[in-house]
Structure 1
């Protein structure tokens, strides 16, 4: 995130519909204090809570896999290939009038073991990777480094996510023109389609149609989205680069598109619609500190100005951000930032937010160790903004203490972020900022999608979706979707 000089017109429509929330004041009941709140459904499916993973009664896959072992990682990977093959054996005839052809070759490898020649290189060159090789019609995976890290950090369904994605590339190769894929297709379009195909596959699992896996729509999908966040591109990359896979925001968008719609919709992803919404971009020349600025009194002052500008159209008294320890006297305590209804302030713990706003330690992520950094400056600013928009909602008479309030809050933070991506606001987004918001949303105690008492919506899928809806569609969508 960076500041910019000069103020101009705000993007039309950010808060002109926020007042409509008043009509919905008190329409929704409250939940048990201290407990995560449950969204009504997840793309039409009920919110479920159970351990996700391989079914105890799952059949033994009858697949030939070169160099396979009896490790848990290989068992999960091979079951994933068998399962996603079953999925596409249904989907290709149903949506594309085409018979499914199994992948010809499967390879499990450990990059620390003797090299195996594959796809014009060797397995030693493919550490921390999984890939599809079109010339050999081969899907391969690193069972020695990548898969153990994914399973340990995010659970077994992270392995299924990665293999489902790579199999999506095999499907593109089979569909060809039916998916708009040829030699000139950019990498980012192929990757968005493959992420979308993965989402459609996970919808099939969530509906209980898989013989091999089960996934809950709360904790299970949370783990899937967290693994997709992990395999995001670095901040500062361009979507035009060869090999671009997308930001976490872009990748979760594509996954959710597939989950909410169908594999046929995924095949409709093309360069035009990717260019219209993709967020992956290089740093601008004026970006300092790789897009991160310090969280201090000066930058919080800029944040206050930015929020006041963005929400001026609500025509309510704007909350004042004060550094007072992060809790409200005799009121909400959601440190490091709390909205205090009694005096319409956002009480922050500046020192704690400064720690949260430290840059992400990407190397620590890949080592599988705790980061010495934080979640980034935008994660800290977004937490403050989430409490600020509580004040805006209170001003128009909307409820603040139910699941809809949490999703509406995240949506309004997304709408504010959408303003920062255009001209005219004191602050502007820099590369990687939206991913920092995604990182915050996937934390167990996310404030971005929490009500005034800090109770987060249980489903990470719903949290991320609400931010995306606000960012792409503006505040009118927040009222329409999360009344």
Structure 2
């Protein structure tokens, strides 16, 4: 979130992002993810085993350069599984017969084992990729895959390899060519990985399991970790080799998971442009994208929302402890419908909005992790004023996420408040919001702080709002 004095001085703090680089339909009827707030794209939202099965089917591939360790065995199982899926799922959306990649190659980026991948030396190559030239898939077993497994479990590794195999599938299906922008190719591959993950989540895989609760949440966290770094318009690399923001890559993955491979084929620059709209992608020259959480910033954002939504009875802002009989507080920000009050625990909100400069979590952290929660409580006040809807059930939780998405898009246009400040969304803010929605769910909660169990459904509801309007949120979550 940005804030400028009218004289032009910018107040913000930069974001540190964890970035991992990348190389270059399921049959059935699409279902609405909103048909039941306790389901995920038509499946029950449940927790349970996630990862490599105790007794998986035997792998069907060999790995060149392997050290025979557990990480390479996991990767070998993952590719074997992904190929088993596409061998049966490829023909319906794309026609023809599926062809496997020619070879799998493993290397240790810290080693001197003279392994080559795609015509290059692998020393120091902490990466995974699909090589179009010789139709091979390779990975670093020294740093990349172990780090992914520690952060996101077995399915974090499998997700990355499903993405890389997506590049092989899109090439064979002629969805992309030499002139295809990287941004399109990468988001199609995210989408195709989502198609495979749906098959695993439906318990069809002979090697892996994936719960639709925490298991799928971990997969989404892995997608977030591979977002583009935050850049300014003046950065010489800005706009080059784009893969997409966390919000964009999550959207692409969810398209595949929900709607199948046909949705992936529809991703092109026009579709991505429609999703982006006027949302900021790059920071302005003097922006860093962060605004320290303080009483001043909180008041300014609430003032901006008053201007944007023009409620007949604007909610009152309080920095005292929440006092609302019959409603449980949901710190750091609570909304009390009885008094139409938003109560803010400023110290806790500031802690929530503090960046993890180490990037250890792989998630996007920063001011809008906190401000999106503040905005969500304002949107509960809008729902209360709207009338005719419950504020304390699962539909209310997803409606809150949706309306917060609406407000987020509206804030992409700067708003000048009565105190002389200009409040505006900046690049990176959407990624901070979806990271918070995944990890704590407060943006997608009701007035008691209760949310639906699936991070997938919470993020999808938020995206409906980002790309829609108030009426759509009230209609969809009624």
DSSP-derived class of the 1:389 partner: helix
The reply to whether residue 190 of structure 1 matches residue 185 of structure 2 is yes
Taking structure 1 as reference, are residues 301 and 479 closer, same or farther at Cα in structure 2, changes over 3 Å only? same
Taking structure 1 as reference, are residues 308 and 248 closer, same or farther at Cα in structure 2, changes over 3 Å only? same
Taking structure 1 as reference, are residues 106 and 280 closer, same or farther at Cα in structure 2, changes over 3 Å only? farther
> What is residue 305 of structure 1 aligned with on the other side?
303
How far did residue 280 of structure 1 move? 6.8
The reply to whether residue 143 of structure 1 matches residue 134 of structure 2 is no
Taking structure 1 as reference, are residues 168 and 240 closer, same or farther at Cα in structure 2, changes over 3 Å only? farther
> What is residue 29 of structure 1 aligned with on the other side?
none
DSSP-derived class of the 1:282 partner: coil
Contact 2:441–2:455 (CA<8 Å) still a contact in 1? no
Q: 1:276 aligns with which of 267, 274, 277?
A: 274
Contact 1:188–1:240 (CA<8 Å) still a contact in 2? no
Q: 2:367 aligns with which of 368, 377, 393?
A: 377
Q: 2:357 aligns with which of 361, 371, 378?
A: 361
Q: Which has the higher contact order (CA 8 A, sep 6+)?
A: 1
Q: Deviation per CA, 1:389-428, whole angstroms, max 9, x where unpaired?
A: 2222222332111111111111111000011123556522
Q: Deviation per CA, 1:454-474, whole angstroms, max 9, x where unpaired?
A: 112110000110110100112
Taking structure 1 as reference, are residues 280 and 175 closer, same or farther at Cα in structure 2, changes over 3 Å only? farther
Aligned mates of 2:430, 2:46 — CA distance in 1: 27
The reply to whether residue 202 of structure 1 matches residue 192 of structure 2 is no
How far did residue 70 of structure 1 move? 3.8
Q: Deviation per CA, 1:7-54, whole angstroms, max 9, x where unpaired?
A: xxxxxxxxxxxxxxxxxxxxxxxxxxxxxxx82321122222212112
DSSP-derived class of the 1:452 partner: coil
> What is residue 416 of structure 1 aligned with on the other side?
407
Question: When the two structures are superposed, what TM-score results if normalisation uses the length of structure 1?
Answer: 0.85
DSSP-derived class of the 2:378 partner: helix
How far did residue 308 of structure 1 move? 1.0
DSSP-derived class of the 2:219 partner: helix
Taking structure 1 as reference, are residues 252 and 261 closer, same or farther at Cα in structure 2, changes over 3 Å only? same
Contact 2:110–2:124 (CA<8 Å) still a contact in 1? no
Aligned mates of 2:410, 2:303 — CA distance in 1: 13
DSSP-derived class of the 1:139 partner: strand
Taking structure 1 as reference, are residues 293 and 240 closer, same or farther at Cα in structure 2, changes over 3 Å only? closer
DSSP-derived class of the 1:448 partner: helix
Taking structure 1 as reference, are residues 175 and 280 closer, same or farther at Cα in structure 2, changes over 3 Å only? farther
How far did residue 241 of structure 1 move? 2.8
DSSP-derived class of the 2:86 partner: helix
Taking structure 1 as reference, are residues 328 and 51 closer, same or farther at Cα in structure 2, changes over 3 Å only? farther
Taking structure 1 as reference, are residues 253 and 237 closer, same or farther at Cα in structure 2, changes over 3 Å only? farther
DSSP-derived class of the 1:440 partner: helix
Aligned mates of 2:209, 2:257 — CA distance in 1: 15
> Which structure has greater helix proportion?
1
DSSP-derived class of the 1:291 partner: coil
> Number of paired residues?
436
Taking structure 1 as reference, are residues 399 and 82 closer, same or farther at Cα in structure 2, changes over 3 Å only? same
How far did residue 103 of structure 1 move? 0.4
> What is residue 477 of structure 2 aligned with on the other side?
482
> What is residue 450 of structure 1 aligned with on the other side?
445
**Structure 2: unaligned runs, 5 residues or longer:** 7-35, 417-421
> What is residue 464 of structure 2 aligned with on the other side?
469
> What is residue 343 of structure 1 aligned with on the other side?
339
What does 1:5-84 correspond to in 2, within 5 Å?
Answer: 39-84=37-82
DSSP-derived class of the 2:139 partner: strand
How far did residue 3 of structure 1 move? 2.9
Q: 2:225 aligns with which of 220, 225, 230?
A: 230
What does 1:230-309 correspond to in 2, within 5 Å?
Answer: 230-236=225-231, 241-278=239-276, 281-287=281-287, 290-309=288-307
The reply to whether residue 403 of structure 1 matches residue 399 of structure 2 is no
Contact 2:151–2:361 (CA<8 Å) still a contact in 1? no
How far did residue 71 of structure 1 move? 3.0
Contact 1:132–1:169 (CA<8 Å) still a contact in 2? yes
Question: When the two structures are superposed, what TM-score results if normalisation uses the length of structure 2?
Answer: 0.86
Aligned mates of 2:38, 2:329 — CA distance in 1: 26
> What is residue 111 of structure 1 aligned with on the other side?
109
Taking structure 1 as reference, are residues 337 and 207 closer, same or farther at Cα in structure 2, changes over 3 Å only? same
Aligned mates of 1:71, 1:464 — CA distance in 2: 36
Contact 2:192–2:264 (CA<8 Å) still a contact in 1? yes
